[in-house]
Amino acid sequence: MDALAAESFLNAPHKVCGLRMLPLSLGHAFALEAIGSPFYHGELGSEADLRLAAWICSRPPLALPQMDGWRCRLWKCRKLDFVAEVARWKTYVADYCAPPQMWNKAPKPGEQRHEPSAIPSGISTVVRLMRLGMTEEQAWATPVGAATWYEAAAYETESGSRLDIVSDSERLAIARAKARAAKSEETSAP
């Protein structure tokens, strides 16, 4: 079994900033993208950005953050170890965002790449999951990694074509080659 598939479907419970995280769903990802959260894109933001991202992901998908209650004000005043909480956040995201890794092939001569759609990818994914029989609520609540694996499986089933997914052994060989290249650069540098 592909390790990324296992990672997408077999998840541990997570806590970030003292909050119990729900599975990182398409709805959470959509909300984080909508507010421009740096933490969803792997960038480093402020403590306030991290708290907001954690608050959003501890609530049902697509729920607007209601952060004006007394409990929330007390929670926001609570001291936290920012570095440790960022590490917890990264682990949480990695646990739920493990889509199949595809080989990136160059276009053939004369072949053109399609322009990216103006429709946010989360909406497109939800529509495809609804075509598989999920309700809209179920689709928005689907963990990000699991949704991409469902899409890949549906594509293969419907088209009869196999996707060119990078295998575990190929990922390992790529990592080893990168490590060797980095090591040879270090030894050749003055």
Task: Give me the pLDDT at residue 38, please.
Answer: 94
Question: Tell me, what's the pLDDT at 168?
Answer: 80
d(CA 163, CA 153): 9
Find, among 87, 118, 116, the residue nearest to 16 by Cα: 87
Do 60 and 22 form a contact (C-beta atoms < 8 A)? Answer: yes
* pLDDT score recorded for residue 14: 96
Which residues in the chain show pLDDT less than 70?
Answer: 65, 67, 70-75, 106-107, 112-113, 189-190
pLDDT at 159: 86
pLDDT of 56 reads 93
| pLDDT value of position 75 | 67
pTM recorded for the entire structure? 0.79
Q: Which residues, in sequence order, are CB contacts of 70 under 8 Å at separation 6+?
A: none
At 190 the pLDDT is 63
Do the Cβ atoms of 27 and 141 come closer than 8 Å? yes
pLDDT tens by residue, 36-52: 999 988 888 999 899 99
pLDDT for the residue 127 = 94
pLDDT for position 98:
82
pLDDT of residue 46: 92
pLDDT digits (tens, 9 = 90+) for 79-111: 889 999 999 999 999 999 888 877 777 667 777
Q: Of 190, 1, 189, 5, which Cα lies nearest the Cα of 97?
A: 5
The pLDDT of residue 167: 80
